[in-house]
Amino acid sequence: MPETPAKHPRIRSIEGYHEAYHLSIHHPEEFWASVAAPFTWRRKWDKVMSSDMASGHNTWFEGARLNITENCLDRHLASRGNKLALIYEPNDPKTRHLRLTYRELHQEVCKFANVLHNNGVEKGDRVCLYMPMIPQLAIAVLACARIGAVHSVIFAGFSATAIADRVNDAQATVVLTADGLNRGAKQIPVKRVVDEALETCSSVRRVIVVEHLGWPVHMEEGRDVWYHEEAADVPKTCPAEEMDAEDPLFILYTSGSTGKPKGVVHSTAGYMVWADYTFRNVFQVEENDVYWCTADVGWVTGHSYLLYGPLLAGSTSLMFEGIPTYPDAGRFWEVIDKHSVSIFYTAPTAIRSLMAAPLDNVLSYSLDSLRVLGSVGEPINEEAWYWYYQHVGKERCPVVDTWWQTETGGIMISAMAGITPSVPARAGLPLPGVLPVLLNQDGSEIEGNDQEGYLAIKQSWPGILRTTYGDHERARQTYFAPYPGYYFTGDGARRDENGLYRIIGRVDDVINVSGHRFGTAEIENAINQNPHVVESAVVGYPHDVKGQGIYAYVICHEGAVGKEADKVHIEASIIETIVAEIGKIAKPDKIQIVTGLPKTRSGKIMRRILRKVAEGETSSLGDTSTLLDPAVVDEIIAGKK
Ligand code: WT7
C-alpha cells in the first residue's frame, strides 16, 4: 500500500482555526471531503454525510470501502516501517519494556488476525476482550478490525456479572483474555473471572488466552485455547477485509441514567477520520513526538487516543500497564523521562492523587522532553490545572482540557495546543465540525456569551455514535428525543464572556467517579440484589481525589440492623454485592443505613435532598413540605456519614 500523497490538513494558527471552523459548519461536505482525502480508501464515498438528528440516523462517507488497519499500519510501512509504533511499559519498572515498530506491529496484528480466522471469527462477528494493558490487547483490537470483526473491549476491572451482561448483549462468539494481570502490587486472575462470567453466556464458543503472568489456569476442553499455541505457525501477513464506511467498528458499553449499560456503536470511516483529525490537531502532533495516554484501552479514551488516533497519524504511542502510584508517586514522571515522552494525556483524578504526595516525587525528574499536556474525563479544577501546568509542564507546556464522551468518538471541545486559548477550568472552543449550543429546560437555545444551560450539539460530526447495539430506539430516546433536532450530551455547561466553554457536570442521574461513568440506577440495582436490602438511593457528592464519590442511602429489612456491629457487617456485605455485580470501581465511598427515604406523595425519591445532605449542605434543603414524611429528613441528617 503506497503512502498517500495528500497531506492531512493541520491547523497552525488562530486564524487557521477560525477559517476551518467556519468552513466545517457552513460547508461540512467540502470540509470533511478534504480532511478524508489523504486516507487509504479501497473505494471513495458517494456522499460525505447525511444526517437526521431527529431519529439519530447519521452516516458519513457512505459508499466508501476501506479497512481502518490499512490506514493505521500498512500505509505507514513504506515511510515509517522502522519507526516505533508502540512502546509498552510494564507494571513493574524492573521488568523490561518492549518496543514494536510499525513493521513489527503490522506483523503481530496479521498473526493475531489469522488466529482469529482459524478460530472461526468472521466479518461482523462480535469479539469481547477482557485483557490486561499489554501489547497483545492493542494487537488483538486491531486484529479484529483487520478481519472486520466488531470488537467490544470490557475494562478488566469489571466483575463476572458485568462481563456476562456485555457478552450476552453483544452475543459475542469469541472472548479474548489472559491468564492474569498486574495492577500495582496486586495481581488479578482475569481468566478465572471470565470463566465465571461465561457460565451464563451461551453464545461464546471459543476463548483465546494470552499468556502474561505464566499462571496455571483452567482450560475448558473444546472451548479454550492458548494464543501462543495457535500463533505458532500462522502466516505473518493477512489480507485486510474490505469494509463499508458504515460497518460497525466497535461496541463500547457505557452507563447512562437507566439501569443497564448500553453498547455504544461506532462505525468505520467516520470514526477513523474523527479520531485522526482530533488527535493531530488538539495535540499538535509532530513526526518525532513520543505520545503517552494513560487511559486503559477498556475506555473510549484508550480506543481513540492510545490506539486509533496515534496509529492513524503514524505516531509513537506508549502503553502503560501499571498505576500512577506504583511503586511510588513518581512513576508517571519516571516513565516520561525514561522514554522521552513529549505529549502526555491523563485524567484529573490521577493528577489530584499525585498532588497529595510530597512534591519531591515530581521535582526529582527533569520532564524536559514534555511539550504538550492533556486532561480528560471530568472537569479539571483550577488547583489541579495549575499544579499540572507548573510542576509537570514547568510553565512551558500548554494544557489541553479535552471534553468529549464515549458517544462522541473523539474530542469535541478543547484547546488546540498553543493555538486556541487554554484557560484553567475551561475546555475552550469547539473543534471544527462541532456546533455546541446551550439549551433551556424547555429546549430553546440560549444566545450570547456569559450564559449557562444544557449542552447539546446541533450538527452531525463524523464521530457521532451510530446507534446503541441491538436497540436503536434506546439511542434515539437517550440522545435525540430529549431535545428534538439536537444530540443531547447530559452535561451542563457555561459559555464564558469570551465564548469559551466550561463543563459543569452531568445534569442527569449519571455520576463521574475518577473519570468513570456510573448510573445511579445501575448502582442501586446492584445494591438491591443484597438480601438485607429493601430499597436504596445513590447520589454523587464532591470528592477531593475522585471528583465525585458515591453515597448510598440504604433501607434494610426490619430486624436486620439492631446493634452497631450489625451495621458494619451489613455495609461490608453490601460492598461485596456491588463488587460482584459491577466491580471494585463502583464501590460506594459512604453507605448510610436509614429507615426511610424522602419521597413525594406520589412515591418519587427526592434526590435533590439526598444530594444536599451528602454534600453537607443541610441548611439549604429547600422545600420539604411536599414530602410524604418530612421527619425522615431529620433522621438522615442526624445519621450523615
Ligand atoms: C462524561 C463522558 C471523554 C472520554 C472519557 C470519559 C465528563 C469528560 C471532560 C472534561 C469536564 C468531562 C462529562 C462527559 N467529561 N471529559 N474535559 N471536562 N467533563 O468518557 O465515560 O463517556 O464520560 O465525562 O460529564 O459527559 P465517558
Q: How far is the CA of 69 from the centre of ligand 1 (A)?
A: 27
pLDDT of residue 5: 46
Q: Are residues 480 and 582 in the same domain?
A: no
Q: Are residues 564 and 607 in the same domain?
A: yes
pLDDT of residue 243: 98
Report the distance separating Cα 200 and Cα 242, nearest Å.
34
Q: Are residues 488 and 542 in the same domain?
A: no
With a 6 A CB cut-off, is 331 part of the ligand 1 pocket?
no
Residue 308 reports pLDDT greater than 90: yes
Three-class DSSP category at 457: strand
Q: What are phi and psi of 475, to 5 degrees?
A: -65, -45
With a pLDDT cut of 90, the percent of the chain lying above it is: 93
Is position 48 within any domain? no
Q: How far is the CA of 495 from the centre of ligand 1 (A)?
A: 17
The best mutation among 376, 412, 455 to test binding of ligand 1, ranked by most ligand atoms within 8 Å of the C-beta, falls on: 376
Q: Are residues 134 and 168 in the same domain?
A: yes
175-199: average pLDDT = 97
Residue 502 reports pLDDT greater than 90: yes
Q: Whose CA is nearest to atom 18 of ligand 1?
A: 379
With a 6 A CB cut-off, is 404 part of the ligand 1 pocket?
yes
pLDDT of residue 4: 46
Q: How far is the CA of 403 from the centre of ligand 1 (A)?
A: 6
What CATH number is given to the structural domain containing 464?
2.30.38.10
Non-local (6+) Cβ contacts of 397 within 8 A are 370, 371, 372, 373, 389
Say if residues 309 and 342 touch (Cβ distance below 8 Å): no
Is position 114 within any domain? yes
Non-local (6+) Cβ contacts of 588 within 8 A are 523, 538, 549, 550, 551, 552, 574, 575, 578
How many helices and strands, by DSSP H and E, does the chain display?
21, 31
Q: Are residues 495 and 624 in the same domain?
A: no
Q: Are residues 477 and 606 in the same domain?
A: no
Report the distance separating Cα 36 and Cα 209, nearest Å.
37
The best mutation among 253, 255, 403 to test binding of ligand 1, ranked by most ligand atoms within 8 Å of the C-beta, falls on: 403
Three-class DSSP category at 531: coil
Higher pLDDT, 70 or 563: 70
Q: Whose CA is nearest to atom 27 of ligand 1?
A: 405
Start-to-end CA distance of the chain, whole Å, equals: 62
Is position 70 within any domain? no
Q: Are residues 108 and 215 in the same domain?
A: yes
Domain count, the chain: 3
Q: Are residues 473 and 536 in the same domain?
A: no
The best mutation among 500, 503, 513, 585 to test binding of ligand 1, ranked by most ligand atoms within 8 Å of the C-beta, falls on: 503
- Output the CA angle 622-625-631, nearest 5 degrees: 95
Q: Are residues 481 and 595 in the same domain?
A: no
- Kindly calculate the radius of gyration of the chain based on its CA atoms and give it in whole angstroms: 24
Locate the DSSP E strands across 445-500: 445-446, 451-457, 467-468, 487-495
**9 Ramachandran zone, left/alpha/beta (phi>0; psi -120 to 50):** beta
Residue 127 reports pLDDT greater than 80: yes
Three-class DSSP category at 553: strand
Is position 518 within any domain? yes
User: Which atom belonging to ligand 1 lies closest to the Cα atom of 414?
Assistant: 17
Non-local (6+) Cβ contacts of 112 within 8 A are 136, 139, 140, 142, 143, 227, 231
Question: Which of residues 206, 241, 276 is at a domain's end?
Answer: 241
With a pLDDT cut of 70, the percent of the chain lying above it is: 99
For residue 143, what is its C-alpha cell? 486484529
| Residue in 544, 514, 501, 519 with CA at minimum distance from that of residue 607 | 519
Q: What is the mean pLDDT of the chain?
A: 96
Question: Which of residues 460, 476, 506 is at a domain's end?
Answer: 506
pLDDT of residue 627: 87
Question: Which of residues 225, 241, 257 is at a domain's end?
Answer: 241
Is position 319 within any domain? no
With a 6 A CB cut-off, is 514 part of the ligand 1 pocket?
no
How does residue 257 score in pLDDT terms, banded at 50, 70 and 90? confident
With a 6 A CB cut-off, is 406 part of the ligand 1 pocket?
yes
With a 6 A CB cut-off, is 198 part of the ligand 1 pocket?
no
How does residue 259 score in pLDDT terms, banded at 50, 70 and 90? confident
What CATH number is given to the structural domain containing 188?
3.40.50.980
Q: How far is the CA of 102 from the centre of ligand 1 (A)?
A: 31
Residue 93 reports pLDDT greater than 80: yes
How does residue 6 score in pLDDT terms, banded at 50, 70 and 90? low
Q: Are residues 116 and 231 in the same domain?
A: yes
Is position 405 within any domain? no
For residue 526, give its domain range.
510-638
For the residues of 1-34, what is the DSSP string, one character each?
-PPPSSPPP---SHHHHHHHHHHHHH-HHHHHHH
With a 6 A CB cut-off, is 301 part of the ligand 1 pocket?
yes
Is position 25 within any domain? no
Q: How far is the CA of 556 from the centre of ligand 1 (A)?
A: 34
pLDDT (tens digit per residue) in 529-542: 999 999 999 999 99
Residue 215 reports pLDDT greater than 90: yes
pLDDT (tens digit per residue) in 400-454: 999 999 999 999 999 999 999 999 999 999 999 999 999 999 999 999 999 999 9
With a 6 A CB cut-off, is 224 part of the ligand 1 pocket?
no
How does residue 630 score in pLDDT terms, banded at 50, 70 and 90? confident
Is position 64 within any domain? no
Q: What are phi and psi of 639, to 5 degrees?
A: -95, 10
Q: Whose CA is nearest to atom 14 of ligand 1?
A: 405
Q: Whose CA is nearest to atom 8 of ligand 1?
A: 377
Give the count of beta carbons closer than 10 Å to the beta carbon of residue 341: 24
Report the distance separating Cα 408 and Cα 482, nearest Å.
17
Q: Are residues 466 and 522 in the same domain?
A: no
Q: How far is the CA of 457 from the centre of ligand 1 (A)?
A: 15
Q: How far is the CA of 376 from the centre of ligand 1 (A)?
A: 7
Q: Are residues 484 and 542 in the same domain?
A: no
User: Which atom belonging to ligand 1 lies closest to the Cα atom of 375?
Assistant: 17
How does residue 9 score in pLDDT terms, banded at 50, 70 and 90? confident
User: Which atom belonging to ligand 1 lies closest to the Cα atom of 380?
Assistant: 18
* C-beta contacts of 330-336 below 8 A and 24+ residues apart: 330/361, 330/362, 330/364, 330/365, 331/93, 332/294, 333/361, 333/362, 333/364, 333/365, 333/367, 333/392, 334/93, 334/365, 335/89, 335/292, 336/292, 336/365, 336/367, 336/369, 336/370
Residue 1 reports pLDDT greater than 50: no
171 Cα distance to chain centroid: 22
With a 6 A CB cut-off, is 401 part of the ligand 1 pocket?
yes
pLDDT (tens digit per residue) in 321-340: 999 999 999 999 999 999 99
Residue 563 reports pLDDT greater than 80: no
